[in-house]
Chain A
Amino acid sequence: MRSTWFRPTHRRTTAAALVSALALTALAACGTSSSDDSKGSGGGSSDPSAPLDPKTKVTLTMDCMPPAAKAAELREWKEDVKEFNKKYPNVTIQGRSTPGQCEEPTRFTAALKGRSQPDVFYTYFTDLQQVLDNNGAEDISAYVNEKTVPALGSIDPNVTNVLKKDGKLYGLPTSNYTMGLMINRKLFKQAGLDPNQPPTTWEDVRKDAKAIAGLGKGISGYGDYSATNQGGWHFTAEMYGLGGDVVTPDGKKAAFNDAIGKKVLSNLKSMRWDDDSMGKTQLLKWGDLQKQISTDKLGMFLAAPDDLTYMVQQLGAKFEDYGMGPIPGGRATLFGGNDYMIKKGSSPDKIKAAIAWDNYKNLTPGKGQFDWARQKTDALPVGLPQPNFWTGGIKATDLQARTDSATMPVENFKPFMGNPIKGKAEPAKAQEIYKVLDNAMSGVLTNKNANVDKLLSTAEQQVNQVLANQ
């Protein structure tokens, strides 16, 4: 007997319902988040430079809420929302969390293209041009001032300048980094080296790497990347460290085919093949060296201080076993960082609310991310040299507070902190240049007979082609 569901009288209704459901599902699947779901109500000033009216009702979707796995950070986030809501009771913060890094370039690029980034979204300093090309962020110049961000004057202008284009400000910083030399103190001691005096020249790096590799058991003295554009990124940092550059000041020609570029590659080649102090496995990418050093298989590599947070939180390393020195050469160091931008098309009230929240959470000394005492209570890492974008009095106070609440031996970073080196931004078209330079790095690290001059001149020719091809 046929079910009543299939009786002819019901068939049409069922089919219509099904069609509607499918259509709705398809539409829902293809929909993107609204760029501006709340226009703001209950007050609000038309003057962009005025702070947000506390009565204004706004809902903000916000990148980078800590995931549940990071219980302490999530608790702090919720506490901060609660505190923020005491002043702005009508602002609803809807956090969005991501399990890994806040920004994964592939996902971020796709979201930007699909306009599905949150109202307040997280970017790397190097993303600005990409965001602008996709018309992704609001110009917030008129909204950011001493009233809305009281500590504005104490933020290192080098940091805020990275977030500007044609004099317009598009983001507010949350952290910054400069690169240095991460060392494994345990292996330094085992090799009879002084971990309080990490090498500061490439000659010393080579000597110490040889000593550490001499420990045997598959331990490498020094490690470097040569894949996924990170080889080129490190080559650039190493060029900066020796006072060189990868492109000419006008950004039109390659500038690395010189004595400095040759020194960088020749030194790596010697360490890899003559000294055998870099291990046999090459074509490494971000994450590989962190794993090696966390398992005591690597003595040194170029890194930013926040690599240590990743090593401790994700790979089970212990803070006390690591330290940092300045970048070898010490002439300049590559710098970068992260910031928040506000989605294009947001209403003025939404922009104001976003700035008010960002100010509370990330730009107020002693509060939010700078509440070091609270982070100590929550057993989070305190004492890393960065973020460090303050200047003047605030910088001194913040460093003192950080030292007072340190949960790790801050003296391990003394060689890095005591030798502040001028930061230098990445070149324009960085990723395309890095892709070419990956080949030079992989060339010397995988080929015993690599011809450094040829690698440099081929890379020079290709980078010139990339720069001409814009």
Chain B
Amino acid sequence: MSAPTLSTSDKPVQPPHHGPPPEARREAFVRSVRRNLSAHSFLIGAVLCFAFFSWYPMVREFLLAFQKTEGGKTTWVGLDNLDYVFHDPAFWQAWRNTLLFTALALLLGFLVPFVIAIVINEFRHAQGYLRLLVYLPVMLPPVASVLLFKYFYDPGYGLFNGVLHFLHLPEQQWLQSTSTAMLSVVIAATWMNMGGATLIYLAALQGIPGELYEAAELDGAGLLRKIWHVTIPQTRLILSLLLLMQIIATMQVFTEPFLLTNGAGPEGSTTTVVYLIYQYAFNFNNYGGAAALGLVLLVLLAGFSAAYVRLSRDSES
């Protein structure tokens, strides 16, 4: 019996494909890896670090949100942790506080740096000096800035009440009153962080061609009309990007209320969502609850992040 032979027509038909065959591609890949071995080795280090310290915790956090650990046994509990979180009396209060912080922080933290940037931009001299002055608070360690404000706000010995007392005005409770605590936190946070935003606005303002202002002036536009018809449209994109970035950052606020009001504030008026996550994890040992609340926050922020990415792409194009 003769061995079967394959005629040319019997050969399996290779599906048509574009580019080099797989072997060649593999070889090209191996060659490319060899050629850039040092670069790849550095890359592996970075990838390992990200994998261990960023990606793994993220995956673990996601899993934890649906698990419960009791008696050393981890069990799958489905949506129980979310149910727990939604029924926590502090949950809605924390969200209300966080949204209030975000709204106030946007109002102050968005508007104040923009106005300051416009004012600095109008100066013909000493711009560098003014930029430095505005940026200085950012260079202070956050804890030092917060402690400084804690002293300013102190109802007994604080600077602010000292000034009010000097002016024969009624003293305020600042951080110790449910009506002013969050606003006081926002003022401190705005002061600490406005330097960076101001510089970005300033860069955007300086990118606006001078001819546009000149044309507006020729048309008889005053300062406000110039801002409305030239400055804002020209910086629209950067304004939108910063707005989104600030929403994402302010919704994760933790440091300022944690240090200024010991986390919760009077009657829980400064408890934020991230502080509540911290409490679940480290005060109540409820990792499932912490992960579930983290997930809720993540979903919300992911929406803003997607918008941010889209806007960034638009700005690149």
Q: A residues bordering B, Cβ < 8 Å?
A: 11-12, 14-16, 18-19, 22-23, 26, 29-30, 105-106, 109-110, 113, 130, 132-136, 218, 227-229, 279-283, 285, 344, 431-432, 435-436, 438-439, 442-443, 446-447, 455, 461-462, 465-466, 468-469
Contacts and interface: CB of A to CB of B under 8 A. Distances in A.
B90 A469 contact: no
A133 B37 contact: no
A133 B267 contact: no
Given A135-B72, A218-B157, A465-B88, A431 B176 contact: no
Q: How large is the interface on B (under 10, 10 to 19, 20 to 34, 35 or more residues)?
A: 35 or more
A218 B157 CA distance: 9
B87 A109 contact: no
Contacts of B70: 133
A218 B156 contact: yes
A109 B287 CA distance: 10
Contacts of A281: 154-157, 176
B52 interface: yes
A465 B87 contact: yes
A265 B129 CA distance: 54
B282 A106 contact: yes
A19 B42 CA distance: 8
19 contacts: A11-B38, A14-B38, A22-B41, A22-B44, A22-B45, A26-B49, A30-B52, A105-B283, A134-B72, A227-B263, A280-B155, A281-B154, A283-B176, A283-B262, A438-B264, A442-B266, A443-B266, A466-B88, A469-B87
B265 A442 contact: yes
Interface of B: 34, 37-38, 40-42, 44-45, 48-49, 52, 69-73, 84, 87-90, 154-157, 173, 175-178, 261-268, 279, 281-285, 287
Nearest to B87: A469
Contacts of A280: 154-156
Nearest to B175: A283
Contacts of A19: 41, 44-45
Contacts of B284: 431-432
A29 B52 CA distance: 9
B43 to A, nearest CB: 10
B184 to A, nearest CB: 12
Most buried by B among A133, A136, A465: A133
A169 to B, nearest CB: 17
A227 to B, nearest CB: 4
A203 B300 CA distance: 52
Contacts of B73: 135
Contacts of A136: 72
A447 B177 contact: yes
Contacts of B267: 439, 442-443, 446-447, 455
B285 A15 contact: no
A228 B262 contact: yes
Nearest to B262: A227
Indicate the member of A14, A16, A22, A439 with the most B CB atoms within 10 Å.
Answer: A439
Contacts of A228: 262-264
A435 B44 contact: no
A174 B70 CA distance: 27
A286 to B, nearest CB: 10
Contact of B88 (A110, A130, A229, A469): A469
Nearest to A30: B52
A134 B87 contact: no
Contacts of B156: 218, 279-281
Nearest to A133: B70
Contact of A134 (B69, B89, B279, B281): B69
A236 to B, nearest CB: 15
A218 to B, nearest CB: 7
A468 B282 CA distance: 21
A283 B266 contact: yes
A431 B283 contact: yes
B72 A466 contact: no
B86 to A, nearest CB: 10
Given A26-B48, A133-B72, A282-B176, 10 more contacts: A12-B34, A135-B73, A227-B263, A228-B262, A280-B156, A439-B267, A446-B267, A461-B89, A469-B84, A469-B88
Contacts of B48: 22-23, 26
B175 to A, nearest CB: 7
Contacts of A30: 52
A439 B73 CA distance: 34
B72 A447 contact: no
A280 B88 CA distance: 31
Contacts of A442: 264-268
A466 B89 contact: yes
A133 B283 contact: no
Contact of B264 (A109, A227, A432, A469): A227
Nearest to B176: A446
A306 B17 CA distance: 79
Contacts of B88: 465-466, 469
A109 B177 CA distance: 32
- For A438, A443, A461, which residue has the most chain B Cβ atoms within 10 angstroms? A438
A438 B177 CA distance: 14
Contacts of A469: 84, 87-88
A279 B176 CA distance: 13
A447 B180 CA distance: 12
A135 B74 CA distance: 10
B51 to A, nearest CB: 8
Contacts of B45: 18-19, 22, 26
Given A22-B48, A109-B281, A15 B266 contact: no
A77 to B, nearest CB: 29
A438 B283 CA distance: 14
B46 to A, nearest CB: 9
Contacts of B71: 132-133, 135
A447 B262 contact: no
Given A227-B261, A283-B175, A442-B266, A435 B283 contact: yes
Contacts of A465: 87-89
A446 B282 contact: no
Nearest to A229: B283
Contacts of B34: 12
The 9 A-B residue pairs with the shortest CB-CB distance, nearest first, are A135-B72, A227-B262, A462-B89, A22-B45, A280-B156, A106-B282, A446-B266, A280-B155, A446-B176
Contacts of A113: 287
Contacts of B287: 113
A5 B225 CA distance: 64
Contacts of A432: 284
B277 to A, nearest CB: 13
A447 B266 contact: yes
Contact of B69 (A106, A133, A431, A468): A133
